[in-house]
Structure 1
């Protein structure tokens, strides 16, 4: 009798494990990718000290040119320094959404709006998109994406893109990052 119970338990565990492996995409993460409430943040300043912002402590960092990416599990923060003659506005954000629609897997348009942050008014573009496939499992997760475009006279443009699984509760950590952005003299 004990062996039958053990076999039944192992079979049930195997069925549950296989149920999560049958698809290459996860429509809703439902809590996967939540950044812990007790996450510590540290200040990041790139070479050249043009700007500073807080990022989660302990996340992996990769730099290439004027772009730096911080990752941990299913979340990504990408920061790109560029130029723009004028501050980006809502029509520019709507044009970005149109461009993304044609070249982004799993794309669902969100909104373009101007929001206030301590660094000043910022263009916020939101949408959903597929993250790159996991290099081990090949699984693809659909992310909620928030892209903040900070402009600094005369021509500085800092783009901070936050991405995490659809449905993850990262409102407070993302606000910590976007509120911390500042241009350095």
Structure 2
């Protein structure tokens, strides 16, 4: 499906992407230009991917010093800097890294947005702004992109994404939410982005 940066967004797709000849999504120096030049695919008329109102959320406690709520029952993949939670075409990816300074709208445009445009497919950023959340001020990046090609049909879908950058005491936490464009996940995404709590 997608990555939060380079190869971290959907871990099992690395081998698949290489087999499909889509290495640019993971190694921009090799094929980044092809990924950047990819055209946006049309959004589905009746997109799948709505998180049901009955979805139960559970606490995810990270060893990186924060907790947040994630959907119960989604496939979880842990790694050193965080974890991903995936259900069909929907995904939640959270990671932590060190940072000397808090992100700003300007720094996000100069770094995160450029990274997205280089490493993800047919990216179109629609908003970069500061938001006030229970965990403190954060930067919210809203964009659309193409998914990775399906392994069998080679079909792609248009995805909508929200990326949140949280900062505290030299630690930067990045939360990525994605689903097919047009899916109705506003309330569930708000619940998750508002639930991050520093330990």
TM-score (norm 2): 0.74
1:82 aligned residue (92, 97, 113)? 97
Matched, 1:114 2:125: no
2:67 aligned residue (29, 34, 52)? 52
Matched, 1:39 2:40: no
Per-residue deviation, 1:130: 1.4
Check conservation: 1:61, 1:70, Cα contact below 8 A: yes
User: What do residues 104-141 of structure 1 show as CA deviations (whole Å, max 9, x unaligned)?
Assistant: 21211221100111101110011111122233433211
User: Counterpart in 2 of 1:15?
Assistant: none
User: What do residues 10-66 of structure 1 show as CA deviations (whole Å, max 9, x unaligned)?
Assistant: xxxxxxxxxxxxxxx8521334111111111000112x3611000011000011221
Per-residue deviation, 1:101: 2.4
User: Counterpart in 2 of 1:98?
Assistant: 114
Q: Distance in 1 between matches of 2:119 and 2:97?
A: 21
User: Counterpart in 2 of 1:69?
Assistant: 84
SS across alignment from 1:140: coil
Per-residue deviation, 1:103: 3.7
Q: CA RMSD in A?
A: 1.6
User: Counterpart in 1 of 2:161?
Assistant: 145
Mean alpha-carbon deviation: is it higher for 106-115 or for 96-105? 96-105
Q: 1:49 to 1:104 in 2, by over 3 A?
A: closer
Q: Return 5+ residue gaps in structure 1 as ranges.
A: 1-24
Per-residue deviation, 1:94: 1.4
Per-residue deviation, 1:77: 0.5
Check conservation: 2:85, 2:92, Cα contact below 8 A: yes
Query: Which of the pair has more CA radius of gyration?
Result: 1
User: Counterpart in 2 of 1:12?
Assistant: none
Runs of 4+ in 1 over 3 A off after TM superposition: none
Q: Distance in 2 between matches of 1:49 and 1:104?
A: 26
Per-residue deviation, 1:67: 2.7
Per-residue deviation, 1:102: 3.6
Matched, 1:182 2:192: no
User: What do residues 122-178 of structure 1 show as CA deviations (whole Å, max 9, x unaligned)?
Assistant: 10011111122233433211111100011012x011100001111111100101111
Matched, 1:126 2:122: no
SS across alignment from 1:44: strand
User: What do residues 85-113 of structure 1 show as CA deviations (whole Å, max 9, x unaligned)?
Assistant: 11100001212223422442121122110
